[in-house]
Amino acid sequence: MTQALQLLRDGPVARLRMSRPQVHNAFDDHLVAAMTEALVAIGADAAVRVLVLEAEGPSFSAGADLNWMRGMAAASEEANRIDSLALARLMRTLDELPKPTIAAVQGAAYGGGVGLVACCDIAIGASEAKFGLTESRLGLLPAVISPYVINAIGPRQARRYFATAEIFDAVEAQRIGLLHKVVNATALDNAVQRQVDLLLNAGPSASANAKRLVRDVIAHSDGARHDADNAALIARLRVSPEGQEGLTAFLEKRKPGWAR
């Protein structure tokens, strides 16, 4: 773990905190690599049940670091392709992490910072937060993060914000689907903790696999095969140890063993 990134543990909850406040938690190749490595480790850690992605300082993430961008502007097309693939791996690792994820957005999120928010399962923002997909101002597009942002806000809104690069506030971010909830800055920690508590009271396997179910449902084009796959899934869950404990606890009017 580098000084630019902190991994904090509170029992089953991991907090991955970007810690480059002097540059508004902007990405460079070192932070991208460190975040990817940390996420892979968190995904493989059976003791972790929830990940909170957060940032130090007044901004969540300003996107690409200016010095990094300056260097890549002078690099070859092949070097830029390799560099972009590293960022793509970070986003996909976060999006497909086999744990529920929460983004706690306390300030501005631009470019790749919006991508991180879109990759998380739950996103809560302070009312002061600002957002922008600002790449077109530089003659670029948010190509690497586009699958996740489009999935979050939909193609209609993406066509607008990818083209205009306009800044929008937290209320608009919630309206278009990037944020689930907007709260006062002083209430952000409590709002995040509320989601953590809900996740810790859900079945660990069930909550971890919720995103995979959603992804599979969206990807299916064969209705009959879809029905068969979903029936097989619920059958496996019902006879699994977690499913058996959850059903038994419900019938016995007690909390399941995993609940807090």
pTM value > 0.85: yes
pLDDT for the residue numbered 231: 66
Contacts of 31 (CB under 8 A, 6+ apart): 2, 4, 5, 18, 20, 65
Specify whether domain 5-200 bears CATH 1.20.200.10. Answer: no
Under the banding of pLDDT at 50, 70 and 90, the label for residue 70 is confident
Q: What pLDDT was estimated at residue 64?
A: 86
* Per-position b or e across 193-214, b if 16+ CB within 10 A of its CB: eebbeebbebbbbebbbebeee
- Domain ranges across the chain: 5-200, 204-251
Mean pLDDT of all residues in 59-82:
86
Question: Between 219 and 175, whose confidence is greater?
Answer: 175
